[in-house]
Structure 1
Amino acid sequence: MGKSIVDKDDQLTYLKERLSMFMTVLENIEPENTDLEDIDRLIGIIDELETKVEQFKRSKSV
């Protein structure tokens, strides 16, 4: 596991980078070639982002 992100600016940067990566993946998906496993992975990424947002909201820096 990586080092905890406690600085508010670092937290925001982390979330922006993760969201940008997600958007890139989403933009490059070919709907006709997408299967249930691909969709499950996308949902997993969203769940991870949601978990991080909640963690950051509970931290003392945010």
Structure 2
Amino acid sequence: MGKAVTNNDSQISYLKNRLEMFIEVIDHLDPEHADLEDIDRLIQMLDDMEVKVEQFKKDESTVE
């Protein structure tokens, strides 16, 4: 596993990287050949990013 992302700059960088990966997956996805598994993977990626955003928001509120 990777190191915990604790400071604001690292958190933003982490989210940007995850978003770039998401966009890459979408760019390489052939809509005519995409199946339910592909769509589920995209939804899971979005859900994972949402969890991280909420975690980072919670971490930020405990620091203040």
Identify whether the pair has TM-score above 0.5, normalized to the shorter chain.
yes
User: What is the alpha-carbon distance in structure 2 between the residues aligned to residue 46 and residue 40 of structure 1?
Assistant: 10
What is aligned with 1:47? 47
What is aligned with 1:18? 18
Q: TM-score, normalised by structure 2?
A: 0.89
Query: Relative contact order: is structure 1 or structure 2 higher (C-alpha 8 Å, sep ≥ 6)?
Result: 1
Superposed CA RMSD in Å reads: 1.4
What is aligned with 2:56? 56
Taking only the aligned residue pairs, the percentage that are identical comes to 52
What is aligned with 1:9? 9
How many residue pairs get aligned? The number is 62
Where does the alignment leave 5 or more consecutive residues of structure 1 unmatched? Answer: none
Q: TM-score, normalised by structure 1?
A: 0.91
Q: By how many angstroms is 1:3 displaced? A: 2.1
Where does the alignment leave 5 or more consecutive residues of structure 2 unmatched? Answer: none
